[in-house]
């Protein structure tokens, strides 16, 4: 129906079809029509007031067989589609397994750099945000037909490893590290900073050991690789619990033999300057601090490795876009890196490199810090959520089959939905009672709605292929539910364009709430066979839409709860 409306407007207005398609929108309220065409942007080219433009186009459209009525409200043309035509169209286009999918990304690659924990540090709740957001974006872009490369750019190189080597040699031992893993490495890291605050010479030792790593010292690299292996093993356990994976674990260390080429390119381009013994790219002209490329001791910095990573990824995958999902505190860093890539003569950098920031995570208002040890471990949060769901199951449905699996799906889903329901840029203050709240606008509520749909269909002899009589589902609750479902393809596109999974999360909630209103207003299992089958079709479409939308958030749906 949307395509037909676009054709109608294009023909009457003689505007470019793509322009019309871009402007056409779904109104927020039913009394404003099924589709609305705003004319504000046409005022400059058509040299008319927007309300006059709307009136002119509406007059040229005239009577159309698919429209119940057409009206203008100020600068808007509102289209009211005949209900039976709308229902028929929905049954033809939306009642399919690939509804919401698209091929707009066909033949194009998107790289997403996300999660990327710092090796030898605990995977805490702050890492969950980048992991959850990045994973959802991967699923959204895949739904649109893109080839997506999921990259975990581990923080596995840098001066912090010099600090860890010093701490391990002074206060650690192999048995403790083997037994306690990352927890022991964290203890040593915190210990280093406590001692370095009293003795600054320790920082010099740390810089020395990292320099040894960069120069290939066997002892330094052996200890470092041990730390990496221990950390990665623990991280993969958390990823498994989340039901997530990556195509590439390519940390900063992967690019250490590629940084010399970056330095050479910058030299040849005349961009590299010396500043107090260090090598920088001056970005003062662009109102940015200089981008540090090489320290005065000759060692590289993470910016150098990020530059190498961009160039490597472009050469290997020729990406359409390369997305970086990190905290908003890294905004300047990525602005510097992207500008340096652009200054190297890469015009594609302006549109292809995108930093996707998200808000901070705090513990009751206190910023999380690995130095102070004020952290909440991601795995602990997930396990606590699962345990909480188990308690609810034991109380409300003790005979439920596969209780452990259901508890995992619902518990993990609660954490994911809680994060993705709000705009990513907002700060999150971590509170147990909020995260594990199973009432209201939560993941478990949407999952429960899915289970309700599954239960209804299980308890009937409903056949997906049954011919439906459109006239049976023209009442307001049914039409409203169909309108919500109808938004799904556009929701997926909007989420991708805005890099905003919350668009999908809120859509799933809207569908669940709309289904609840429909279910309460329209009895499904009525005696009239035609009416029953028509309403069961709505239940089936809702079930599929909820499953597909939650899947884009990385959330599964149990068949029973």
Q: Which string of DSSP letters, residue by residue, matches 324-346? A: EEEEGGGHHHHHHHHHHHHHTT-
Distance of alpha carbon 478 from alpha carbon 474, whole angstroms:
6
Write down the pLDDT at residue 214: 85
Superfamily of domain 378-551: Isoleucyl-tRNA Synthetase; Domain 1 (1.10.730.10)
Walk along the chain (561 residues) and give the pLDDT tens digit of each residue: 889 999 999 999 999 999 999 999 989 888 899 999 999 999 998 999 999 999 999 999 999 999 999 999 999 999 999 999 999 999 998 989 999 999 999 999 999 999 999 999 888 877 899 999 999 999 999 999 999 999 999 999 988 999 999 999 999 999 999 999 999 999 999 999 999 999 999 999 999 999 899 889 999 999 999 999 999 999 999 999 999 999 999 999 999 899 999 999 999 999 999 999 999 999 999 999 999 999 888 878 889 999 999 999 999 999 999 999 999 999 999 999 999 999 999 999 999 999 999 997 765 655 555 444 556 788 888 998 899 899 999 999 999 999 999 999 999 999 999 899 989 998 876 666 666 667 788 999 999 999 999 999 999 988 988 999 999 999 999 999 999 999 999 999 999 999 999 999 999 999 999 999 999 999 999 999 999 999 999 999 999 999 999 999 999 999 998
Distance of alpha carbon 172 from alpha carbon 107, whole angstroms:
51
**Residue 256: closest CA among 288, 301, 220, 204:** 301
DSSP for 110-166 reads EEEE---PBTTS--BHHHHHHHHHHHHHHHHHHHTT-EEEEEE--B--SHHHHHHHH
Classify the C-alpha dihedral 385-386-387-390 as positive or negative.
Answer: positive
Q: Which CATH architecture has domain 114-257+319-367?
A: 3-Layer(aba) Sandwich (3.40)
Would residue 49 be called left, alpha or beta, if left means φ above 0 and alpha means ψ between -120 and 50 degrees? Answer: beta
Write down the pLDDT at residue 374: 56
Antiparallel, parallel or unpaired: β 67-73 and 76-81? antiparallel
Write down the pLDDT at residue 429: 67
What SS3 class is residue 353?
A: strand
Contact criterion met (CB below 8 Å) for 199 and 167:
no
Write down the pLDDT at residue 514: 97
Contact criterion met (CB below 8 Å) for 462 and 393:
no
Would residue 288 be called left, alpha or beta, if left means φ above 0 and alpha means ψ between -120 and 50 degrees? Answer: beta
Q: Which helix (H) or strand (E) holds 415?
A: helix 403-420
User: Where does CATH 3.30.1360.70 sit in the chain?
Assistant: 2-81
Distance of alpha carbon 31 from alpha carbon 6, whole angstroms:
20
What SS3 class is residue 46?
A: helix
Contact criterion met (CB below 8 Å) for 39 and 53:
yes
Write down the pLDDT at residue 375: 65
Classify the C-alpha dihedral 489-493-494-500 as positive or negative.
Answer: positive
Contact criterion met (CB below 8 Å) for 544 and 101:
no
Distance of alpha carbon 21 from alpha carbon 341, whole angstroms:
34
**Residue 456: closest CA among 394, 385, 519:** 519
Distance of alpha carbon 538 from alpha carbon 319, whole angstroms:
40
Q: What residues have CB less than 8 Å from 74, skipping those under 6 apart? A: 50, 51, 54
Contact criterion met (CB below 8 Å) for 406 and 400:
yes
Write down the pLDDT at residue 368: 53
Backbone angles phi, psi at 26, to 5 degrees: -100, 120
Write down the pLDDT at residue 300: 80
Regarding pTM above 0.75, the answer is yes
Classify the C-alpha dihedral 473-478-479-484 as positive or negative.
Answer: negative
Distance of alpha carbon 330 from alpha carbon 525, whole angstroms:
55
User: Where does CATH 3.40.50.620 sit in the chain?
Assistant: 114-257+319-367
Would residue 549 be called left, alpha or beta, if left means φ above 0 and alpha means ψ between -120 and 50 degrees? Answer: alpha
Question: Which class does domain 2-81 fall in?
Answer: alpha beta
Beta bridge partners of 73: 76
DSSP for 230-292 reads HHHHHHHHHHHHHT---SEE--GGGGTTTHHHHHHHHHHTT-EEEETTEEEE--GGGT---EE
Whole-number Cα distances in Å, 186 to 18, 177, 309, 496, 534:
54, 10, 27, 37, 59
Beta bridge partners of 279: 274, 294
Whole-number Cα distances in Å, 194 to 124, 180, 187, 198, 424:
21, 21, 11, 7, 34
């Amino acid at each position: 129906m949307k395509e037909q409306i676009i054709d109608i407007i294009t023909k009457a207005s003689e505007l470019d079809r793509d322009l019309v398609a871009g402007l056409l929108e779904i109104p927020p309220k039913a009394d404003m029509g099924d589709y609305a065409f705003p004319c504000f942007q046409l005022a400059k080219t058509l040299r008319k007031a927007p309300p006059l433009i709307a009136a002119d186009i509406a007059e040229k459209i005239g009577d159309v067989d698919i429209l119940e009525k057409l009206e203008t409200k100020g600068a808007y043309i509102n289209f009211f589609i005949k209900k039976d035509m709308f229902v028929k169209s929905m049954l033809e286009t939306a009642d399919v397994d690939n509804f919401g999918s698209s091929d707009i990304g066909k033949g194009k690659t998107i790289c997403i750099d996300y999660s990327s924990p710092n090796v030898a540090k605990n995977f805490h709740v702050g890492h969950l945000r980048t992991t959850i957001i990045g994973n959802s974006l991967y699923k959204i872009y895949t739904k649109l037909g893109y080839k997506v490369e999921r990259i975990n750019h581990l923080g596995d190189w840098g001066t912090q490893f010099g600090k860890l080597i010093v701490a391990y040699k002074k206060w650690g031992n192999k048995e403790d590290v083997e037994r306690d893993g990352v927890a022991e490495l964290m203890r040593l890291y915190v210990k280093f900073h406590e001692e370095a605050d009293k003795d600054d010479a320790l920082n010099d030792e740390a810089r020395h050991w990292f320099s040894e790593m960069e120069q290939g010292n066997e002892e330094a690299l052996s200890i470092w690789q041990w730390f990496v292996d221990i950390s990665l093993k623990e991280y993969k356990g958390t990823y498994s619990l989340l039901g997530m994976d990556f195509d590439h674990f390519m940390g900063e260390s992967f690019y250490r033999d590629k940084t010399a080429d970056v330095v050479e390119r910058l030299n040849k381009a005349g961009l590299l300057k010396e500043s107090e013994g260090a090598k920088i790219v001056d970005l003062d002209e662009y109102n940015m601090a200089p981008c540090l490329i090489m320290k005065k001791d000759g060692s590289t910095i993470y910016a150098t490795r990020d530059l190498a990573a961009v160039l490597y990824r472009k050469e290997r995958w020729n990406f359409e876009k390369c997305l970086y999902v990190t905290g908003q505190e890294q905004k300047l860093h990525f602005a510097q890196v992207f500008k340096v890539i652009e200054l190297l003569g890469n015009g594609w950098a302006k549109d292809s490199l995108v930093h996707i920031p998200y808000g901070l995570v705090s513990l009751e208002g206190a910023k999380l810090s690995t130095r102070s040890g004020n952290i909440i471990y991601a795995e602990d949060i997930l396990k606590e959520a699962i345990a909480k769901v188990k308690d609810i199951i034991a109380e409300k449905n003790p005979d439920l089959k596969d209780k452990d699996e259901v508890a995992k799906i619902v518990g993990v889903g609660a954490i994911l939905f809680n994060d993705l329901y709000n705009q990513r840029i907002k700060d999150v203050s971590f509170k147990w009672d909020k995260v594990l709240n199973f009432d209201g606008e939560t993941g478990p509520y949407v999952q429960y709605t899915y289970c309700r749909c599954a239960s209804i269909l299980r308890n009937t002899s409903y056949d997906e292929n049954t011919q439906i009589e459109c006239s049976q589902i023209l009442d307001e609750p049914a039409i409203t539910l169909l309108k919500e479902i109808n938004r799904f393809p556009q929701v997926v596109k909007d989420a991708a364009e805005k890099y905003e999974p919350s668009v999908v999360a809120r859509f799933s909630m809207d569908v669940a709430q709309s289904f609840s209103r429909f279910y309460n207003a329209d009895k499904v299992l009525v005696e009239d066979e035609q009416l029953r089958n028509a309403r069961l079709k709505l239940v089936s479409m809702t079930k599929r839409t909820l499953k597909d939308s939650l899947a884009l958030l990385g959330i599964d749906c149990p068949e029973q709860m």
